[in-house]
Amino acid sequence: MNKNIKRSIISLDVMSRDVYDKFSKFSHLQHISPAEMWEYYPKTGKNNLDPKTMFNEAPIIEPYLMVNYLKQKKISTVFWYNNALFIYNEKLFRIVGDKIVEIDIKNLCFISFRESFAHPFYKFLKIILEQSGGKLAKPNMQTMYNVGCMNKLYAFAELYHRREELLGDFIIPFNITPRDYPVFIKFLKDNLGDKIVFKQDCIQEGKGVIFKDLSKDNQLESITSILNAHKIKTREVFITSAVDIVNEYRCYFTNHGRKKTVFSIKQRVNSGDIDVYERDNIQIYKNISVKWLEVKTDSMVFENASKIAKSIMKDMSYDTGCLEFAYTKDGKVVFFEVNQMAGPLPFEGEDTTNMTNYYFSMFDKMID
């Protein structure tokens, strides 16, 4: 724990207005324990969401968990939302109405969760905070420097030396023009096979997934629209062979130095009642019904999945997050992605404690 830190600001600027309005309605959560907080968040595997008294947005519970954590460290906290800020030399200023207010940054911790801190403003903010005994804190500070396809392609780059073991064959196009599409598609078919997957939005899992069967006729038109998107920044296209999945796991972890810890694992089972190759675009939950199963921490499944997760983590610079991988029908392990801030999926009982421990370990790294 950074002993210099005395005050903190939790930035909520990433929130949409409707989520922020809901966040404000639950302000009493900052005065209760994590165990009580989880009573306002639906448990996975149960139909227990009461819209009158509960919420289902991870960005709401995370700041309140952080407040509880900071109280234990005797650090005062305020929330900021939709603030106009600027840095002048080595000072931070905030515009409030028609006034400009200098912010005291001595021993101040400026905290965020889900935004990338990609704007150059934050690189300078980090410098002046550290000069004043404070810090800029967020999960996975790497995403401040590796934006765009951080969650998918940055992780793939770190695991590239284990490509055959964990990644399989894949293609990342760059500057492919429409005149190149026919020959490019033939290359895909010849090298990846008939059944392939286009990941059109590499930032967030479950969005922009397109399955294609190249053995079918008239595929060029739909694939053209996918390939056109790869020229747009942060919309790079990742292409790989489709695999037959037996089990898929979502592992919440922290990776602090030599201490690698997996706190909670969920097993995902997709609905089998949809032909993914007949859809232009697949979004998890929207098009595919997903069932989550709790993997108990004292089970062999948890032990084996944790070993695999830790083995993958040792080659990545992510200090916290949610790692997803799958077992295939031919017995291989396939890495899918790392989410720097995957929403919690708490089950009733001990798993809410597991999720609290995961977040508090994350906070230890952020504030240290």
Question: In CATH, what number is assigned to the domain containing residue 204?
Answer: 3.30.1490
Does 331 fall in a domain? yes
Q: Give per-residue pLDDT as tens, 299-317.
A: 999 999 999 999 999 998 8
Query: Which residues are bridge partners to 293 per DSSP?
Result: 267
* Percent of the chain with pLDDT strictly greater than 70: 87
How far, CA to CA in Å, does 267 sit from each of 55, 110, 245, 305? 23, 35, 12, 10
3-state secondary structure of 100: strand
Judgement on whether residues 14 and 135 belong to the same structural domain of the protein: yes
Rounded-to-integer distance, Cα 283 and Cα 11, Å: 29
- In this structure, of 66-70, 234-238, 248-252, the range with the lowest mean pLDDT score is 234-238
CATH number at residue 275: 3.30.470.20
- In this structure, of 13-27, 66-80, 107-121, the range with the lowest mean pLDDT score is 107-121
Domain boundary among 226, 241, 256: 241
Q: Which pLDDT band, with edges at 50, 70 and 90, does 208 fall under?
A: low
Q: Which pLDDT band, with edges at 50, 70 and 90, does 271 fall under?
A: low
Between 248 and 116, the higher pLDDT residue: 248
Does 348 fall in a domain? yes
Between 287 and 190, the higher pLDDT residue: 190
Amino acid at 127: I
Judgement on whether residues 225 and 250 belong to the same structural domain of the protein: no
Rounded-to-integer distance, Cα 251 and Cα 321, Å: 8
Q: Which pLDDT band, with edges at 50, 70 and 90, does 294 fall under?
A: very high
What average pLDDT does range 6-34 have in this prediction?
94
Judgement on whether residues 21 and 75 belong to the same structural domain of the protein: yes
Judgement on whether residues 195 and 237 belong to the same structural domain of the protein: yes
Phi, then psi, of 166 in degrees rounded to 5 = -120, -25
Rounded-to-integer distance, Cα 368 and Cα 366, Å: 6
Dihedral angle over CA of 240, 242, 248, 250, nearest 10: 30
**pLDDT of residue 1 exceeding 60:** no
Judgement on whether residues 283 and 308 belong to the same structural domain of the protein: yes
Rounded-to-integer distance, Cα 179 and Cα 183, Å: 9
How far, CA to CA in Å, does 11 sit from each of 35, 66, 156, 173, 179? 24, 12, 30, 36, 46
82: left (phi over 0), alpha (psi -120 to 50) or beta: left
Does 2 fall in a domain? no
- In this structure, of 17-21, 62-66, 148-152, the range with the lowest mean pLDDT score is 148-152
Number of domains in the chain: 3
Domain interval for residue 132: 7-139
What average pLDDT does range 266-284 have in this prediction?
63
Does 145 fall in a domain? no
What average pLDDT does range 260-273 have in this prediction?
84
Between 340 and 88, the higher pLDDT residue: 88
Does 144 fall in a domain? no
Judgement on whether residues 217 and 306 belong to the same structural domain of the protein: no
